[in-house]
Amino acid sequence: MRDAFSRCLAQAAQADPRLLLLTGDHGYALFDEFRRVCPDQFINAGVAEQNMVGVAAGLAKAGFRPVVYGLSAFVPVRVLEQIKLDICYEQLPVVFIGDGAGLVYGQLGSSHQSTEDIAALRALPNMAILSPADAHEMTTCLKLAFEGIGPVYVRMGKADLGVVHAQPPLFDWGQIYPVAEGNGPLAWIATGAMVTTALAVAADWPGSPVWSVPCIKPLDAERVAAICRRHEAVIVLEEHSIYGGLGSAVAEIAAAAAPTWICRIGVADRFSERCGSYAYLMREHGLDATSVRRQVEQFMARNGLHSNQLAESRRAA
């Protein structure tokens, strides 16, 4: 996914001299290609993210197309107010890239983990939020982001979990689409790196459709409501706090348009307790496949839902 990002960025910059890449001294080797092919469009703004976002605003006002890169723990969180006032209020076409979203920088601790970025940005008017699941979704997401219609945040999570798609899927703003079809009682909605987990676990409930959500905001409310109506329960997976992220967005739509059971699986309202690798922390937070499966079973049992086909199939065997 990082390769796709790096390649798309360099291509876009070559095609459009207005594109300027700003980084707060992050992304060392990631931008080798970019710096090689368009060195004049690369700006290292130093370890000073507040200024970097303000400078991006000024550049955008004057007709440039800034792309602001940072770790998602810092951009958007550290500079939320600059994004709110300097960028979103002015509806400026600035693309923010938040790298290492979720628990990717596991061992470095809470400063470098980001499980609140979606929630923070969802509350900002005019801000679009993209969250690609693999390199192919990243390619399409960047294409949308570079259209330059306004502020966009591209959330870049764990990069090496394999591909979901065989080629860049075609989707537009707000669109969500199935990566597994089915009319079973459970529907799965996932974003970012959790799409691969959703695909793996949903297979235990035969006939479960899995929807990938590369565009969290705007979100196709009618489509989500239709999914909520069609299935007994909806399982939402994200590598983000269960507060304010995709699960919340789906639950909000369901509450208003199609009340149903929504099982939100994400990071509970707490920080990581221990040092650990990505895999370790995904287990600690209950986001590995085994933990997800167990949480879904518990959710179904607790709420008296009877579509636990995994258990049934195990009994039959």
Partner 1 sequence: MTQRFDPIRLRRTILEMAYAGSTVHIPCAMSIVEILAVLYRSYLRLDPNDPDCPERDYLVLSKGHGVMAQYACLHELGWLSDADRQAYFRDATRLKGLSDAHVPGLEVSSGSLGHGLSVGVGLALAAKRRGTSQRVFAVVGDGEANEGAIWEALMFAAHARLDNLFVFIDANGLQAMGTTAEVMNMGSLVEKLTAFGLESHEVDGHDHAALANTIDELLASKEPRPKGIVAHTVKGKGISFMEHDNTWHYTRLNAQTFAAAMRELGPEIAAA
**Cis before 93? omega within 30:** no
Q: Which stretch binds partner 1 (CB under 8 A): 5-13, 59-67, 141-149, 212-220?
A: 59-67
Residue where the block lists tokens 């994004």: 83
Which DSSP string do the residues of 224-282 spell out, in sequence order? HHHHHHHSSEEEEEEEEESSSSHHHHHHHHHHHH---EEEEEEE-SS---S---HHHHH
Instruction: Give the one residue of 21, 53, 118, 235 binding partner 1; rule: CB under 8 A.
Output: 53
Q: Which stretch binds partner 1 (CB under 8 A): 80-88, 168-176, 180-188, 274-282?
A: 80-88
How many residues in the chain?
317
Determine if 62 is a binding residue for partner 1 (CB under 8 A).
Answer: yes
Instruction: Give the one residue of 1, 13, 56, 263 binding partner 1; rule: CB under 8 A.
Output: 56
Instruction: Give the one residue of 15, 36, 58, 203 binding partner 1; rule: CB under 8 A.
Output: 58
Q: How far is the CB of 282 from partner 1 (least distance, A)?
A: 35
Residue where the block lists tokens 């390649």: 7
Q: Which stretch binds partner 1 (CB under 8 A): 26-34, 83-91, 140-148, 178-186?
A: 83-91
- Name which of 59 and 224 has its Cβ closer to partner 1: 59
Cα–Cα–Cα angle for 275, 281, 284, rounded to 5 degrees: 105
How far is the C-alpha of 268 from the C-alpha of 266, rounded, in Å? 6
Determine if 90 is a binding residue for partner 1 (CB under 8 A).
Answer: yes
Q: How far is the CB of 36 from partner 1 (least distance, A)?
A: 20
Q: For residue 17, which of 88, 65, 52 has the smallest C-alpha distance?
A: 65
Q: How far is the CB of 301 from partner 1 (least distance, A)?
A: 49
Determine if 123 is a binding residue for partner 1 (CB under 8 A).
Answer: no
Q: How far is the CB of 69 from partner 1 (least distance, A)?
A: 16
Q: How far is the CB of 160 from partner 1 (least distance, A)?
A: 34
Determine if 16 is a binding residue for partner 1 (CB under 8 A).
Answer: no
Beta strand residue intervals within the chain, DSSP E: 19-23, 42-44, 65-71, 95-99, 128-130, 152-156, 177-180, 186-190, 210-212, 215-217, 233-241, 261-267
Distinct helix (H) and strand (E) counts, the chain? 12, 12
- Tell me which residues touch partner 1 (CB under 8 A): 20, 45-46, 48, 50-64, 81-82, 85-86, 89-90
